[in-house]
Amino acid sequence: METNATPGDAAALDDPAYKAAVVDLLGVLAYGELTACIRMATDSDLAPSLRIKAQMAGFAATEYRQYELLVARLTEMGVDAEAAMQPFVAPFSAYHDRTRPKSWIEGLIKAYVGDGIAKDFYREMGSFVDDETRAVMDRALDDEGTGDFVVGVVRDTLKTDPTASGRLSLWGRRLLGEALSQGQAVAVERDSLAGLLVGGGADLTAIGQMFTRLTDRHTQRMGRLGLSA
């Protein structure tokens, strides 16, 4: 499927194929924020201190606000937000079932590393959409300090428990594998997203380069945590 949309042109939404791709993109992003919110709040319950617990609940609340922004945009486009999110319930559920953190620190790393990969992908997709859609996506993708907090907490943990490093590095690699595998499943299922890339002029080389950028950024994130990728 190809689209004839010109990125940067809001009227492009009149093209049904392009609109379907944008609805998929906002839908997957909205459902991702909703599950990230629920996961973060759930994992906060195991936090070792009141300070970390409150901080994690705060990040969950931020993710909910970002979810609301995306729902508002879908509604504004005359789209039922629930219907837009529905196709992504099963793949997210599969990803989360396969990456259940066994501790709050694994939960935090998952939020940083797993969500990081997803958000990098959405940012890549941002160059194929109109300005208005991209503006909403940018606001929803704002990290709002979560990363700095997670990096600090994980580095502190590694200082007091250096043996954790190997186990947590392995955990990071597993997250990358599961994220890419579920992402691929979504891409196969929803050809609107692939159509967006192809319609936007991305050839196989460009798509390959995009995946290289995604794994490079994953390696950088792991490095910031003090872990090996």
Tokens of 179: 């994220």
3-class SS of residue 228: coil
72 part of the interface to a copy of itself, by CB under 8 A:
no
Residue 172 neighbours by CB distance under 10 Å:
23
Q: Footprint of a copy of itself on residues 41-70 (CB under 8 A)?
A: 41-42, 44-45, 50-51, 53-54, 57-58, 60-61, 64-65, 67-68
Give CA–CA dist 210/187, Å, rounded.
14
Choice between 54 and 170, CB closer to a copy of itself: 54
Structure tokens belonging to residue 110 = 């998952």
Least distance in Å: CB of 46 to a copy of itself? 10
Contacts of 181 (CB under 8 A, 6+ apart): none
At its nearest, how many Å lie between a copy of itself and the CB of residue 201? 35
Task: Report, in Å, the least distance between residue 123 CB and a copy of itself.
Answer: 24
Give the whole-angstrom CA distance, residue 100 versus residue 106. 9
Judged by CB under 8 A, the residue of 15, 17, 38, 122 near a copy of itself is 38
Q: Which residue, 100 or 212, is less far from a copy of itself as judged by CB?
A: 100
- Cβ closer to a copy of itself: 26 or 85? 85
Q: Which is nearer to a copy of itself, 51 or 155 (CB)?
A: 51
d(CA 185, CA 120): 17
Q: Which amino acid is at 62?
A: T
The tally of CA atoms less than 13 A away on the side-chain side of residue 130 is 19
| Contact pick of 8, 10, 75, 86 for a copy of itself (by CB under 8 A) | 86
Please report whether residue 85 would count as binding a copy of itself according to CB under 8 A. yes
Asked if 75 is part of the footprint of a copy of itself (rule: CB under 8 A), the reply reads no
Return the ∠ at Cα 63 (arms to 51 and 17), rounded to 5°.
165
Residues that bind a copy of itself (CB under 8 A): 34, 37-38, 41-42, 44-45, 50-51, 53-54, 57-58, 60-61, 64-65, 67-68, 71, 82, 85-86, 89
